[in-house]
Chains A and B, each alone.
Chain A
């Protein structure tokens, strides 16, 4: 008997039917994968299940353990052991690991927190998820991978029966992702059921027992993974056609050097003695797609942000030349004027004005271009927004939709649109396809290729090595703040990159 059955779920938002008669059936003790394109309705379905959207705000039935459930809040669903870990982590950065694990569920006697018990139990839980940190550690001091494990420890503290993970690995590096998947398999052995949402199909085919595919808010198919399943099969159901190649063909025409950085060193903003970027030198040429490989925490984002208007770090030293001339990159405005742009990996915090519409977000970095004498021409603005909505295929009811209501992948496309519109000579893309579905990835790769073909220099920071190998011309490998290797992509392989990292450092 299935542990969970969702029958005929329909959920509408003003102007959008996010779910249309969706069925989902999950067996006890299995890992059930939920896949689909950006905006297919995966997160929405899980929010319906966990009571984020309360009973009554959707149609259809939820059966858990054979009984019809009407969850009115997350607390209701948690009481039954359904725990959701959202696409965006929900930890309080300045509280300790232990405090976060028991947030809202404090170990207390008569309202007074029992710190001994808290830290003791937290320690147990941390061990169960394989995280070797003290419960007193402040969450903010942990990397994303570890924070993710804290979330899972928090879930375990609540007596979980069904664990829902919404894109848990999208911001994790290869090693951390593997660890997390191993953990899921371990849980499975102990009888915990999980639902896994991911765009990384290799992960899915590795751990999933059953896959439900959503497309445009409807269930398309239910695939049984016993006996193996190929990624191509999943893709076909996801996008409704088979995808010949994962990467568009390219014929790079590489010109002269446009940007050169010499001896770039950046110190940590709070711990000035720590070098986050250490004496890095590199160059990028016209028409070239340059990749920066490395593990999460290698300092790639910090390098990019420190170049882009000194938006990160302190005591920055080194030289940056654009077109052979020393470039003034001291503020974001100046960096943009010098032809540089940086599309952030953290779209919610750094990329978008969430409460505003697509129309307002896209032209933001170059508002002058849609204005005359300081007065915004709303016609032009709308045209621009429409153009990019079409070009990047941003799934939305219209350009007037607030970006907070877009699915994660479509938010990412809005960030990209903003910088494409700013029309820089050198574009730094930080994890440009994070949380983006396979079909849309291909579209973004095509955009990158076409930009390079038009003579732009593109720098791609990515933790997905196949992606770097598939779309770049040349690679630098970064580890612990330093550039430790450079190679033409034609001569690179995942093994070679990893061995470069390991050889040079105390890589984890």
Chain B
């Protein structure tokens, strides 16, 4: 057998040169993260420091939470080789359903929330059923779904806005983690959570690196590893400090963080996740390997429906009212986020973290451009171009490799 050494394995692992060489070969993985940082720095300067003001940062997260939540589900749908155009309408429909149940019928908000999640899952499952078992193209099924649920939202709300919601329900979106430690100046408890999470991520990274090194499959230079993780650690702590300085970590932030953690794990480490990537990569080969691609596709759509419903609750709670306009064109932002995050149109490629970063790139641009007073017209143009640029970058990079 011929052992071929990889070019970066030969170079001394601690030099700058090695770090750059490594970066060059892995540009695709880190490019998107750098893009986010660059965009944030740009707007931080351009807005004269407003972007990272505690109140704005908190707002940014609240504004983007529902996109992030849906992007996670969409990532799995796209990895599986499909698309879901109905998520915006489903978000609107579920918000309307929640409003009608809670405000008009007086159903307890917790119960209503659970029912809504269930309804979302059923909607996703119904669409997934046709896609998985009857092989109707997802584009068409979910396009139909988009129209259907847009219509049903109007019908349910009778064209009116319904609200307001009870205060407890609103806490989903507008609540903050209470300060159990009673800090006077800032939300100490929130800061502590931030530090704990950052440490956890750091610990996990170190553990993984050790494991991989013992197996000899890690070729990341130490300098690179150290700088990268130090930056991530610092960024997380800094952000939680900023937010703690305002009112603490928003509740949605915790929800989002949990979802990101859980779904990252599911997609990268479980047999379920592995199989989805295999189906998206080559469905025939996956089926002939005994993978039940129909059931997994079905489940992926059911999951997407449920996450869209969760996003619908978050959105309704944030607006404190359900309107017939809610969710319109959200699917475009969600899909754009996933592709900016490095997923491939043909399936089989993409990561949850990438999709989340993609969502934040969109979010930071929206927010930054609004602060700068750029009109909605040019915002759209710029966002479209960024999407195009991100995907071109991805494709060129892949060709080169």
Chain A residues engaging chain B, CB cutoff 8 angstroms:
14-17, 216, 308-309, 311, 331-333, 335-336, 342, 344, 349-356, 360, 364-368, 371, 374-376, 378-379, 382, 390, 393, 395, 397-400, 418, 422
Contacts and interface: CB of A to CB of B under 8 A. Distances in A.
B271 interface: yes
A356 B282 CA distance: 10
Interface string B1-29: 11011110000000000000000010000
A378 B268 CA distance: 10
Contact of B215 (A333, A375, A382, A390): A382
A333 B284 contact: no
B288 A353 contact: no
A81 B287 CA distance: 42
B278 interface: yes
A278 B271 CA distance: 39
Nearest to B287: A332
A384 B286 CA distance: 19
B358 interface: no
Nearest to A39: B2
B118 interface: no
Interface string B262-287: 00000001111011011001101111
Interface stretch (B166-174, B236-244, B289-297): B289-297
Which of the listed residues B4, B7, B274, B275 has the most CB atoms from chain A within 10 Å of its own CB?
Answer: B4
A308 B288 contact: yes
A31 B56 CA distance: 73
Contacts of A15: 4-7
B370 interface: no
A382 B271 contact: no
A360 B282 contact: no
A351 B288 contact: yes
A376 B285 contact: no
A78 B94 CA distance: 59
Give the top 6 A-B pairs by smallest Cβ distance, nearest first: A353-B281, A15-B6, A365-B289, A336-B290, A332-B290, A367-B271
A398 B278 CA distance: 20
Contacts of A390: 1
A443 B7 CA distance: 30
Nearest to A308: B288
Nearest to B277: A356
A354 B285 CA distance: 10
Contacts of A422: 290
B401 interface: yes
A7 B379 CA distance: 54
A431 B272 CA distance: 31
Contacts of A342: 288
B4 A374 contact: no
B285 A352 contact: yes
Given A367-B274, A371-B271, A376-B271, A16 B288 contact: no
Contacts of B277: 353, 356, 360
Among A311, A332, A360, A393, the one with the most B-chain Cβ atoms within 10 Å of its Cβ is A332
Given A15-B4, A376-B271, A379-B215, A332 B288 contact: yes
B288 A333 contact: no
Contact of B272 (A309, A349, A374, A400): A374
B278 to A, nearest CB: 5
A395 B1 contact: yes
Given A14-B25, A355-B348, A376-B271, A349 B285 contact: yes
Q: Point out which of B282, B286, B290, B292 has the most chain A C-beta atoms below 10 A from its C-beta.
A: B290
A417 B80 CA distance: 25
Given A311-B288, A376-B271, A382-B217, A353 B348 contact: yes
Given A375-B270, A393-B1, A395-B1, A353 B286 contact: yes
B278 A356 contact: yes
A354 B281 CA distance: 7
A333 B285 CA distance: 13
A380 B358 CA distance: 32
A361 to B, nearest CB: 8
Interface string B284-324: 11111111100000000000000000000000000000000
A365 B285 CA distance: 10
Contacts of B289: 332, 364-365, 418
